[in-house]
Amino acid sequence: MLKPIDNCTRQVKSLDGLWRFAVDSPDLSSPWAVSLPGAKECPVPASYNDVFFEPSLRDHVGRVWYQRTITIPKGWDKDQRVFLRFEAATHEAEVYADDQLIATHVGGYTPFEADLHAKPGVEVRITVAVNNILTHDTIPPGTVIQSDTGKVKQKILHDFFNYAGLARSVSLCSVPVIRVEDITVVTDVKGTTGLVRYDVVLRGSADKEQIELIDREGNVVATSTGTPSGTLYVEDVHLWQPGAAYLYTLRVRLFKDSSVVDQYTLAVGIRTIRIEGLQFLINNKPFYFRGYGRHEDTPVKGKGHDNAWMVHDFELMKWSGANSFRTSHYPYDEEVMDYADRHGWVVIDETAAVGLNLNIGGGLFGSGGKITFCDDYASDRTQASHKQAIRELVQRDKNHPSVVMWCIANEPDSGESGARAYFQPLAELTHQLDPTRPVTFTNLGMVPPEKETIGDLFDIISLNRYYGWYEDTGDLEAAEVHLETELYR
């Protein structure tokens, strides 16, 4: 599922802006069939929680409804595929075109699409239900409880607010019937020659495929014709490097009767990743990660993506001397990944698997005695959701040169007896989906090495430690001693 682009064969129309908005209620019957009641409007992209002043909306548990009427541009080709693209809906979505359900999606931080079977020039009423409920079967997990006063509450085990809604962009898109459906790129370097291995998935039958690699000055430096899979060789290659990004453009063109029927371009950074002993090597040079575990939260918009806030945050990180960040604790908007590609940031890309630890409290200390990996909490159903989250993360971000590692869980109870049966298939799946990047999980201090049961499944074990924060609070000298003692014992 390629990111939509606007060019000579593909069209993208932004649907960002104000949508009609209503909270679900027993009185709201078939809201997709009529105009939503009331006068509320909600900006997209934005989390709805902080936009309005009602406490009931900030703490709402359940569905809300978004709605707007769109027109398929009259100039679009009637034979093309027309669809809606949602960059995210937190955490579950139902999409209606007029009175027809056209798509559902579970998972709050990865994109999905919904086909629109409508002709150019036609108006369509789009209604979207977004449900923020987390259960034991979702990633991240959660529990819905009822207070003594009868109020429904969402209980979560992660220490950040459960922002919800259409927090990322929505687009109306059109692509040709004969088209590029997917591209996978893997790069390597041999001496001064760059290798770009490509695998292009096509929809429909073209007479010819042409694959070109174009440098930053617009010169075609490698080309291939007639095969959707192969390798391009780039002499005197410019490497993508931390802090010094160089991006080539991979251009795929499909021909029918000597005419271009589809074209797709993809930014490509040529670089290598490997682990040697205790060193992480990018382009065969040791890389030292200096950076942050971030969040996407901003005032008013919640997790709503905003390019001004994004650039400001990157500038703050650069000012502080950082060179990398971890997408704690969910996949970030793809605009963030594109920016990291262009500016040479190094990224540890993480799923939304936070809260897989019933013995955690306040982000650090275990209370003991509870079983996390069991049929009543992190079960086979949770694992299935976790697998899908991994698939969607790798599918979306596999071609970003900035992404150097997959993190598939944050602070699970990895010392519990059931953890291995839960995590082994997940680690194997991630390696299978992408053999080129290391796979990690983030270990919590309550599971020291002698209690760890899953460490050998991963290429790297990431450590969350709170010396100087929860422990040795404010005493950085003691924090340094205690951290070094743990690392070198």
C-alpha to C-alpha distance for 250 and 239, rounded to whole angstroms: 15
Nearest in space to 4 (alpha carbons), one of 135, 168, 122: 168
Output 36-44 pairs: Cβ under 8 A, ≥24 positions apart.
Answer: 36/65, 36/67, 36/127, 42/18, 42/66, 42/165, 42/166, 43/17, 43/18, 43/19, 43/301, 43/304, 44/15, 44/16, 44/17, 44/18, 44/19, 44/165, 44/166, 44/169, 44/170
2 in Cβ contact with 262 (< 8 Å): no
Q: Is there a catalytic annotation at residue 411?
A: yes
Give the gyration radius of the chain's Cα atoms. Answer: 24
Q: Is 179 helix (H, G, I), strand (E, B) or coil?
A: strand
83 in Cβ contact with 116 (< 8 Å): yes
Angle at 290 between CA 289 and CA 291, to 5 degrees: 110
8-state DSSP, 455? G
- What token pair was written down for 270? 């040529």
Identify the active-site residue in 92, 392, 411, 416. 411
C-alpha to C-alpha distance for 367 and 364, rounded to whole angstroms: 10
Strands (E), 327-459: 346-350, 360-361, 365-366, 403-410, 439-444
Angle at 418 between CA 362 and CA 458, to 5 degrees: 80
Angle at 56 between CA 54 and CA 57, to 5 degrees: 70
Buried b (16+ CB within 10 A) or exposed e, 14-23: ebeeebbbbb
Burial status of residue 49 (CB atoms within 10 A of its CB: 0-12, 13-18, 19 or more)? buried
- What token pair was written down for 99? 């009175």
Q: Is 486 helix (H, G, I), strand (E, B) or coil?
A: helix
Nearest in space to 345 (alpha carbons), one of 308, 374, 368, 320: 320
C-alpha to C-alpha distance for 256 and 206, rounded to whole angstroms: 5
Integer angstrom CA distances of residue 348 from 21, 323, 329: 35, 12, 11
What letter represents residue 244's amino acid?
A
121 in Cβ contact with 72 (< 8 Å): yes
| Catalytically annotated residues | 411
